[in-house]
Structure formats: C-alpha cells, structure tokens
Amino acid sequence: MLFSENGNAQLARQSKQVKINGRIQYDFEFFKREKDHDWRVGNEFRRVHLSAAGKTGKYFKYKVEVNFAHGKLGFRDVYLEYVNPSVGHIAVGSKAEPTGLEMATSSKYIPFAERAMLTALENFRWGTGIHYACHGLFDKRAGIQMALTNKGVNSEGFVDKQLEKGMNFAARVYGTPLWDTDKKFLWHVGANYATRPYKDLKFRPENHMGDKYHYVVPGGQRRLETGFETAVVYGPYSLQGEYKTAEIAAQNARYDISGYYAMAGIFVTGESRPYKHGAFGRVKPRKDVAHGGYGAVEVLARYSVMEFPSDLIQLPENTGLPGRIQNTALGINWYLTSHVRLMYNFILTADKHPSGNLNTHILRFQVDF
C-alpha cells in the first residue's frame, strides 16, 4: 500500500507542470507631419506580460496571462483547454481569435513593431468564450479554428451582461500546399470569416502613440469580415500578405471597408522564419551574442492600405477623415538571442492630411522569458 501511494504521488507530481513566462516591450516613438516644425517624441512600455501556464493531468492545459502596460491590468490568455489528438483543442476562456495570419502570430514574433492596419477591422486580439482548433488535418499540413466570443472589454475582465445583443463568431482555415522542412521552403494559404456586433472603427497608422482615426456608421448593426492570407518562406527569404473586407450593415445602408498589405523580408545572416500551426514563431540565431556570435539580422519592407467608400466619408460624422490611407514601412530586426530583440521601424503615412504625410520612427527593446 505504501509503495502504491508513493507511486501515485509521483505520477501526480509529474502530471502537474507549471511555467512562468513573460515579455517586456519598451518603445520610443518619434513622429512628425511634413509641414510641422517640431517632432513629437514619446516612450512607453508597449507590453508587459506575465503568465503562468501548465497542464494538469493528461488532457488538460491552462494559462493565465495578464498585461501590466500603462499601469493597468488587462486579461490576455486566460483559459482551461482540453487537448486530445483525435478531437483537437477545446478551450473555454480568453484566447486569441482566429482572424488571420497577422493576429495568429504572437507579438513576440511579429516582424514589425505593430501589426498591419487591416487588423483594425477585427476585434481586440483576444476574445472570451469557446474556442476550438484542430491543427492535424491532412497529415498536419492544414487546420481549422473557430471561436464564439462575447463583447466584453479585457481591462474589465471581459464582462458582458448584454449577450442578447449578439456575440462574435470567427472561423479560419489554413493549409500548406507546399512544405519542405529540409529545404526550409513552405507556402501557406488561408481564409477567415467573422460576424460581429457593430462598433466604431478606431485605429492608428501602425504606430501606437500617434493620433487615431475614428470612423462612425450611424445606426450600425452588424459587421461581416472576410479575409484571405498567404505567405511564402524560402530559406532566409519571406513574403507575406493579407486582404480583408468588412461589410458594415446599418438600418438603411451598407458600407464596405477593405484593407490589404504586402510584406517582404530577408535574414542577411541566413536564418529562416519558423512556422507551426498556421503561424510564425521564434527566430533562433545561428550563433547568438551569448556564444560569441552576432545574432540574427532581418531586413523588412511592408506596404499597407486601408480604403473607405465615398458614401461613408461623406457622412457628417466622418468629416475630414481620409478615404484612403497608405503606409510604406521599412524595418530592421536584430535578434541578439532567441529571446532578446532590438527593432527599428520607419513608417511613411500618406492620408491627404493638410499638414502633409506623417513620418514615424519606432525603436523597440524586447525581451521575453
């Protein structure tokens, strides 16, 4: 009996695994309109995440992650998940919604400091509700993800006491028609769909400290989002792009907003972007600075556009807002180790502003553990 009890206790300890993780992203931003005399300069902790994650038993995982940036507490991943290879992943709580390749890739691994503008057509990255994912289709070359989430605010614990007004449903399918791990070559394709209650569209032009655009649809009721995504990686070279439309239904009208981007990158030191489960992951330098190397260096370019219909721009609520916004961005990433990264972005925003185009410089110091 004593042997049996000790054996059971040992198995119980082995089945409980807890990991403490976190990330710090500290930014400096410099931005100025062409006709302005002075630069606006700011700095912030863009993200300060701390999480505890693990599993209890054979099939159950959990995670609790919060963000402390700006001195405010906000939920991120907070869930209990059932994982079974024959069934998939079923989670209840807060997880990232399946809305596209940019959103599927963690902020620890996105190539630019901010995601492309078209992600503004989606909700906040996380949503609380029921999530499902299966990444093992067609010999693990394809997957499907779905989520039914509420309208709660993450800084308020995602409380939503008005579910009768509708919820969010998002779904995504993806696949890799071509994938050769030996040659570090892959071709990713995907599509996504979402239906949501209406809310005003607010976003910045791929910076986080500048002024927001704020578009309003009077009497807005629902949003229908449709998106397509693709990416190619061949050794150190990578291409990535997405296109998304949002149809906003009002009482007597419908408005179609669209966005797209195209991005290209190269690791001049020879690394390749890692890929798993429909998203890109952690870059590991061939020889980091802790082992006498120089780390990994990545050079990037991205062109990003948002377009708004003329009848939406002509509404009194949207007076003075642009019908088209274009961002041209250049970036350099220096991965000192697989967990430490320095980033520089230059962004030129063309939006027909009376003071001219917006020039933005972003410098980020990032560590995760």
Residue 302: is it exposed, middle or buried by C-beta count within 10 angstroms (0-12/13-18/19+)?
buried
CA angle 299, 300, 301 (to 5 degrees): 145
Q: Buried b / exposed e across 349-367, counting CB within 10 Å, b at 16+? A: bbbebeeebbbbbbebebe
DSSP β-bridge partners for residue 327 = 304, 349
Instruction: From 216, 207, 247, 231, select the one nearest 358 (Cα to Cα).
Output: 207
Locate tokens 């082995």: which residue?
Answer: 14
Phi-psi region of 176 (alpha: psi -120 to 50; beta: other; left: phi over 0): beta
Q: What is the pLDDT of residue 137?
A: 96
- In a structure prediction context, what are the per-residue pLDDT tens digits for the chain, which is 369 residues long? 333 445 555 545 555 679 999 999 999 999 999 999 999 999 999 999 999 999 998 999 999 999 999 999 999 999 999 999 999 999 999 999 999 999 999 999 999 999 999 999 999 999 999 999 999 999 999 999 999 999 999 999 999 988 888 999 999 999 999 999 888 999 999 999 999 999 999 999 999 999 999 999 999 999 999 999 999 999 999 999 999 999 999 988 999 999 999 999 999 999 999 999 999 999 999 999 999 999 999 999 999 999 999 999 999 999 999 999 999 999 999 999 999 999 999 999 999 999 999 999 999 999 999
Tokens encoding 213: 């655009």
- What is the Cα–Cα distance from 365 to 123, expressed in whole angstroms? 26
Tokens encoding 79: 């869930």
Determine the residue type at 168.
N
Specify whether the CB–CB gap between 3 and 22 falls below 8 A: no
DSSP β-bridge partners for residue 62 = 54, 80
Tell me the CATH number for domain 28-368. 2.40.160.10
CA angle 179, 90, 171 (to 5 degrees): 60
CA angle 363, 272, 140 (to 5 degrees): 120
DSSP state of 154: G
- What is the Cα–Cα distance from 7 to 352, expressed in whole angstroms? 71
Locate tokens 């520089």: which residue?
Answer: 344
- What is the Cα–Cα distance from 189 to 228, expressed in whole angstroms? 8
DSSP helix/strand/coil, 44: strand
Tokens encoding 276: 């798993």
Locate tokens 């499907």: which residue?
Answer: 144
- What is the Cα–Cα distance from 4 to 162, expressed in whole angstroms? 52
Centroid of chain to Cα 101: 8
Specify whether the CB–CB gap between 50 and 24 falls below 8 A: no
Instruction: From 169, 167, 185, select the one nearest 177 (Cα to Cα).
Output: 185
Query: E strands of 34-141, at which residues?
Result: 40-56, 60-67, 74-84, 88-96, 126-136
DSSP state of 8: H
Q: What is the pLDDT of residue 10?
A: 53
Determine the residue type at 327.
N
DSSP state of 211: P
- What is the Cα–Cα distance from 318 to 143, expressed in whole angstroms? 40
Taking the domains of the chain in order of start, what are their residue ranges?
28-368
Q: Buried b / exposed e across 54-67, counting CB within 10 Å, b at 16+? A: ebeeeeebbbbbbb
Locate tokens 């989606």: which residue?
Answer: 122
